[in-house]
Structure 1
Amino acid sequence: MRTMIIAGLGAATLALAACGGQGDDSLGDNAADAAENRADILEDMADNAATDAEADALEQQADVVEDMGEAREEAIDEADVNADAMTPNEQEAAVNGM
């Protein structure tokens, strides 16, 4: 799971690095918010986990997801992406690291 997330982040970072534009911090903020929402879900799952080991694993996943969201936000902001020139699908892919 972690490897797939890291690979997705790497692909998104490369795609965003090739972009240039007028900059739009809201797209990066959306990426961080989306990751935080996914991390919150994982943390809720950890609270309801059947075992301590399962809870720990879910908490670790939540931490990774949140860290990757912050990295994605930074990559989007540094790439100076012009979100207005992107299609909704491209924006969604950037936010979700696809």
Structure 2
Amino acid sequence: MTKSIALSLVLAASLGLAACSGNADNAANASANAAENASNAADNAMNAAENAAVNAANAAENASNAAANATANAM
């Protein structure tokens, strides 16, 4: 009888530790996911800034071309 009680206590303790380690794994995964999300957000921000710079350069070139065309057509 005492062996079954001791075995039950060991089993309960093992299940308790397994449950706790699962939470630790979940917390580690959540932390890794948060870091990955932050990295992706930084990459997206950098890409948006690069795209905005390219768009601004294109707009400036378009304005310059329009002015050159207007000058050429006026002559």
Structure-2-length-normalised TM-score? 0.40
The structure with the largest helix share of the pair is 2
**Higher CA-based Rg:** 2
